Structure 1
C-alpha cells in the first residue's frame, strides 16, 4: 500500500494510491486508520507533500563501506547517529535551496524507515513490527561545512536539505533492492541496500535503545558511494526499487 500526503483545496490530506487516483483518507492513518471519505482524486491533479512530518529525523552515517571510504572516514563497530531538523524536510517537486554559506552541496539517496508505533528497547527480531513503512530521502549535505565544523549538524540542517517522498510504501521489505541517484538523468549512485553495514532491524533496535522513537519518526539508513555535487538549475532524482522516485529541482 502506498500512502501519500498531499494538498487538497489548500489543506493537507492523506490518501492511498489506487492506480492513477488517490483514495482520500478521513484523517491521519496512524491515528484514524484507513477510514476513507469516499472521495477519489486524480494523482496528477494534486500537489504531493512530504509524506510525514516527524518529531525527529534520525540519520545513520557511514553505513556503506565504500561511501565512508570515499570521504576518508573510519568505520565504527556501532551505528553512527546524527540528526536533521524537521525544518529541513521538503516534499516531492519542492526545490533544494543552495545556501550562501557553502561552496559544495552534495546529494545522498537513502532508504528511510517510517516508525509506526512507540519503540523503546526493541529487539532486532521484533524491530520490523514497529515499522509503518518506507520512503526515500535525500540527505543533502554541505560537504565543505561537514569537514570544517566540529560536528555535522550545520552541514545537514539547512532548510530543504531533507527532500522526502514521494509516499510511504507499507509493504516494502528490505531485501537487496537497488538505490540510485541521478543528476539531470545521469546516474551518480547505484547500489544494493544489502551493502549496508548495519541492516534495518539492527538500526531500529540500536536507535530505540538510545532514544524513544515515536509514531511518524523517520530513520535515514545511510547512503552508498558515488555522492556528487549538485548545482542550481539541475534536477535531482532519488529512486529506490519497489518504492518509487523522488524528484527535486535545485535553485
Structure 2
C-alpha cells in the first residue's frame, strides 16, 4: 500500500494511491486507515511530507560496511526541518558547502521502546525517501551536527510511504540537475534498518509519525541555489526539490 499526505480542501489529508486517483482515509495509525469514500485525482495533487513527527532521528556512522568498526551514533533533526516533494530547500548565505544525501527513511507506526530484532518490523508504518541536507563546513565545527543539519526545510521526505518493502536491497540514487550520481543499495549500510531501530529505541521512545533516517549508502553531492535535486528508488519513486537562496532579512531598525 502507498500512503500519501495531500493538500485537500485547505488542509492536509491522508490518502491511498490507487492508480491515477487518491482514496482519502483517516490517519493511518493503529485503528485508523479507514476509507472516507472520497476520491481525488492524483494528477495535480499537492503532495506533502508523508509524516508528522515529534522526533526526526538520523544515524551517523552508517554509510558503509567500514562504519561497523565505529560505535553506533544517532543525531536529532528538528521536526520543522521536514518538507515535502516539490518544496524549496533554502540555503542561507555564507555557510559554505551544502550537500544532499539520499537515504531510506522509516516512518514509525506505533509506540516503540526497547525493540528487539523480532518485534521491530511491526512497529513500522512504512518506508519513504529522504534527503538529509547537510552543511558540510558547519559539520566540522559542530560535533552534535545540530546546526549543520537542522535548518528549516532541510529534510525533504516523500513522495509516499510504502507499507511493504523488501529491505534487503533498496537501490537509492541521488541526482542533481537530472544528472545521477553513483547508485547504491541499503545492503551496503553498516547497520541495517532493524539494527538501527533496535539501537535508537534502546535509549528513546519513538511514536507514531516519527521518522528515522537510516544513512546514505551512496554518493553525496553539493547543491547550490538554482539546482534541482532528487532522491529516487525503483521501489519508492522520486523525491524532487528545488534549491533556493534564503532571503536576507533586513537588520533590526533598518529604514524601510
User: Does the TM-score normalized on the shorter chain lie above 0.5?
Assistant: yes
1:85-164 equivalent positions in 2, closer than 5 A: 85-164=78-157
Decide whether the 8 Å contact of 1:189 with 1:224 is kept in 2.
no
Question: 1:44 aligns to what SS in structure 2?
Answer: coil
- Equivalence for 1:172: 165
Question: 1:3 aligns to what SS in structure 2?
Answer: strand
C-alpha displacement at 1:94, in angstroms?
A: 0.2
- Verify: 1:9 aligned to 2:16, yes or no: no
Which structure's CA Rg is the greater one? Answer: 2
C-alpha displacement at 1:108, in angstroms?
A: 0.3
- Equivalence for 1:20: 20
C-alpha displacement at 1:112, in angstroms?
A: 0.4
Decide whether the 8 Å contact of 1:90 with 1:163 is kept in 2.
yes
Query: In the alignment, which of 208, 216, 225 is matched to residue 215 of structure 1?
Result: 208
Distance 1:228 1:114 in 2: 25
RMSD between aligned alpha carbons?
1.6
Unpaired segments of 5 or more residues in structure 1?
A: 69-73
C-alpha displacement at 1:126, in angstroms?
A: 1.8
- Verify: 1:81 aligned to 2:74, yes or no: yes
Which deviates the most, 122-131 or 193-202? 122-131
- Equivalence for 1:62: 61
Structure 1 150/209 Cα, relative in aligned 2: closer, same or farther at 3 Å? closer
Decide whether the 8 Å contact of 2:185 with 2:218 is kept in 1.
no
- Matched residue count: 244
Unpaired segments of 5 or more residues in structure 2?
A: 245-256
Distance 1:189 1:158 in 2: 26
Decide whether the 8 Å contact of 2:75 with 2:144 is kept in 1.
no
Higher helix share: 1
TM-score when normalising by structure 2: 0.91
C-alpha displacement at 1:148, in angstroms?
A: 2.2
1:177-196 equivalent positions in 2, closer than 5 A: 177-196=170-189
Decide whether the 8 Å contact of 2:75 with 2:145 is kept in 1.
yes
